């Protein structure tokens, strides 16, 4: 059976399997069939997409598949990924589907499915959909799509659905937040937030300069947004703005820029938000959830405040799972996915921005002042070619060297040793107070791995 779903849904090149129209139609039909069997009635699916030129045809394919097996549908048109998660939860709908490849270039697209809670679809249903696609994979590559007519007798227009989400952001998340006097630059990545974000912050009183807010179907994420912040940093300085915010194509993440033009990543954002929430007794358990990629400097800074950093594997899905398991109220990734489970189970760049702005306004401090106390520790990453991926703990010399390094680093450093998921590589990542020290230790461990598991290179 072909595995389609990763930790962030299905993603690939638009127009090619599995992101060709016929396969996407089958995915829609399969989801509705399994939901109908579970619910005993026709399910309602809400759909949204980002600004990629392939989005409209894939949306049509989904609607075809849903209608073909008797499902009901509503479409919000162009809307952020967390916007669809919100609609799935509040319409209420039986599932929400986002057509987006997030921060990827326009040639790619993807399918992400949310349950009515706003969480990502359960793995059991994902496997059932994969089985249905696999059963007819040869036929699907012919890319024929059924024609359909929507029979949604309770039609809510696309603008109406988007407005529900914007009202929630402005009136619930942003309740009482007055941004008068705040100058901000918003980089919309030519994506799903291009219309929503500037109007939202202006509605709350901010003076907004928008950049990369004119999508043409092919410029989504193009040298813009949260992966390319140079233009935003320059524009913040040019406009003498208090801060800048960059979202990605589907606006489920956000990074920030302070008034000096310096980048504020997800780790620094977690630091600001955790301090704000702790001071107001909103940081349950005095815990913050982050991934193994968050810098050791964040852990050290949190320790000084009596806050425990709980780490998970990379992926906002794992962050959310841990947040719900321990009952914490804040988590996120260095890349800018921040989750407030009391507000949304999806990472939402606009919610994050509103919460950060509230901290600025209520504390009466600049973003630069709020990030003080957190220092990023030096980091080094060394990749080692390996001929086999044996568990590291089974190789005595690697195990012994790892233990020695961890003891030397103590509480002011961190070693992360793992294999690449896609290449024959061992990755040695070390963080610590001294660049010279971590380089020495990383190369020492890399040499041990090379001598025991390394790929032998041919001599010429």
Is the pLDDT assigned to residue 18 strictly greater than 60? yes
Give the C-alpha separation, 265 to 301, whole Å: 15
Task: Please give the pLDDT value at position 137.
Answer: 67
CA 131, 137, 139, 142 torsion-angle sign: positive
Task: Please give the pLDDT value at position 148.
Answer: 52
The pLDDT confidence band at residue 460, using thresholds 50, 70 and 90, is very low
Go through 290-304 and write b for each residue having 16 or more CB atoms within 10 A of its CB, e for each that does not.
bbebbbbbbbbbbee
The pLDDT confidence band at residue 7, using thresholds 50, 70 and 90, is confident
Task: Please give the pLDDT value at position 147.
Answer: 53
Query: Which region among 106-110, 124-128, 314-318 has the lowest average model confidence (pLDDT)?
Result: 314-318
Is the pLDDT assigned to residue 459 strictly greater than 50? no
Task: Read off the pLDDT of residues 357-411 as tens digits, 9 standing for 90 and up.
Answer: 999 999 999 999 999 999 999 999 999 999 999 999 999 999 999 999 999 999 9
Q: Which domains does the chain have, with CATH numbers?
A: 10-163 (3.40.120.10), 174-371 (3.40.120.10), 379-453 (3.30.310.50)
CA distances from 120 to 124, 185, 238, 280, 429 (A): 12, 31, 40, 30, 30
Task: Please give the pLDDT value at position 157.
Answer: 78
Task: Read off the pLDDT of residues 109-150 as tens digits, 9 standing for 90 and up.
Answer: 999 999 999 898 999 999 999 999 999 765 655 555 555 544
Given the residues 64, 73, 102, 254, the one annotated as active site: 102
Give the C-alpha separation, 268 to 376, whole Å: 9
- Pair 77, 49: CB distance under 8 Å: yes
Give the C-alpha separation, 277 to 21, whole Å: 45
Q: Kindly report the length of the chain.
A: 460
Give every CB contact of residue 8 below 8 A, 6+ residues apart in sequence: 102, 110, 112, 315, 316, 317
- What is the β-pairing status of strands 243-247 and 183-187? parallel
Q: Report the Cα 209 to chain-centroid distance in Å.
A: 24
The reply to whether 194 belongs to the active site is no
Give every CB contact of residue 287 below 8 A, 6+ residues apart in sequence: 307, 308, 309, 310, 326, 328
Please indicate whether residue 148 or residue 161 has the higher confidence score (pLDDT).
161
- What is the β-pairing status of strands 331-332 and 254-258? unpaired
Which two structure tokens, joined as six digits, stand for 445? 């461990």
Which two structure tokens, joined as six digits, stand for 112? 């992400």
Whether the bond between 92 and the residue before it is cis, its omega within 30 degrees of 0, is: yes
The pLDDT confidence band at residue 314, using thresholds 50, 70 and 90, is confident
Give the C-alpha separation, 176 to 174, whole Å: 6
Task: Read off the pLDDT of residues 57-86 as tens digits, 9 standing for 90 and up.
Answer: 999 999 999 999 999 999 999 999 999 999
Task: Read off the pLDDT of residues 93-103 as tens digits, 9 standing for 90 and up.
Answer: 999 999 999 99
Is the pLDDT assigned to residue 106 strictly greater than 70? yes
Classify the phi-psi angles of 171: left when phi > 0, otherwise alpha if psi is within -120 to 50, otherwise beta.
Answer: alpha
**Taking Cα atoms as reference points, which of 338, 371, 367, 331 lies closest to residue 352?**
338
Across 17-26, 131-140, 422-431, the highest mean pLDDT is recorded for 17-26
């Amino acid at each position: 059976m072909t595995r389609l779903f990763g930790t962030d849904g299905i993603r690939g090149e638009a127009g090619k399997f599995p992101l060709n129209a016929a396969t996407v139609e089958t995915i829609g039909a399969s989801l509705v069939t399994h939901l109908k069997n579970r619910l005993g009635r026709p399910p309602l699916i809400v759909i949204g997409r980002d600004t990629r030129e392939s989005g409209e045809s894939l949306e049509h394919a989904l609607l075809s598949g849903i209608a073909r097996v008797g499902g009901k549908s509503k479409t919000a048109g162009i809307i952020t990924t967390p916007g669809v998660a919100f609609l799935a939860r509040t319409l209420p709908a039986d599932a929400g589907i986002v057509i987006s490849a997030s921060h990827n270039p326009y040639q790619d697209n993807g399918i992400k499915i949310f349950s009515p809670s706003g969480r990502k679809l359960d793995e059991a249903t994902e496997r059932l959909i994969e089985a249905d696609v696999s059963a007819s994979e040869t036929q699907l590559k012919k890319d024929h799509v059924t024609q359909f007519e929507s029979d949604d007798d309770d039609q809510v227009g696309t603008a109406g659905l988007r407005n529900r989400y914007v009202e929630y952001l402005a009136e619930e998340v942003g309740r009482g937040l007055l941004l008068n006097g705040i100058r901000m630059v918003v980089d919309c990545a030519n994506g799903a937030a291009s219309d929503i974000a500037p109007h939202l912050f202006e509605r709350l009183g901010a003076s907004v300069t928008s950049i990369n807010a004119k999508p043409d179907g092919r410029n989504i994420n193009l040298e813009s947004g949260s992966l390319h912040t140079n233009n935003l940093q320059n524009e913040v300085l040019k406009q003498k703005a208090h801060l800048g915010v960059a979202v990605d194509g589907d606006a489920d993440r956000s990074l920030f820029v302070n008034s000096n033009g310096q980048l504020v990543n997800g780790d620094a954002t977690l630091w600001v938000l955790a301090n704000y929430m702790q001071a107001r007794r909103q940081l349950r358990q005095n815990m913050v959830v982050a991934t193994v990629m968050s810098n050791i400097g964040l852990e050290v800074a949190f320790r000084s405040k009596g806050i425990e950093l709980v780490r998970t594997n990379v992926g906002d899905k794992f962050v959310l799972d841990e947040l719900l398991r321990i009952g914490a109220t804040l988590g996120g990734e260095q890349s800018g996915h921040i989750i407030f489970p009391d507000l949304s189970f999806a990472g939402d760049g606009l919610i994050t921005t509103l919460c950060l702005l509230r901290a600025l306004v209520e504390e009466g401090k600049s973003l630069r002042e709020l990030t003080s106390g957190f220092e990023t520790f030096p980091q080094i990453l060394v990749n080692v070619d390996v001929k086999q991926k044996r568990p590291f703990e089974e190789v005595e010399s690697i195990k012994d060297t790892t233990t020695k390094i961890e003891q030397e680093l103590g509480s002011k450093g961190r070693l992360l040793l793992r294999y690449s998921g896609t290449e024959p590589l061992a990755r040695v990542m070390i963080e610590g107070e001294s660049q010279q020290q971590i380089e020495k230790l990383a190369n020492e461990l890399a040499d041990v791995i090379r001598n025991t598991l390394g790929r032998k290179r041919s001599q010429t």
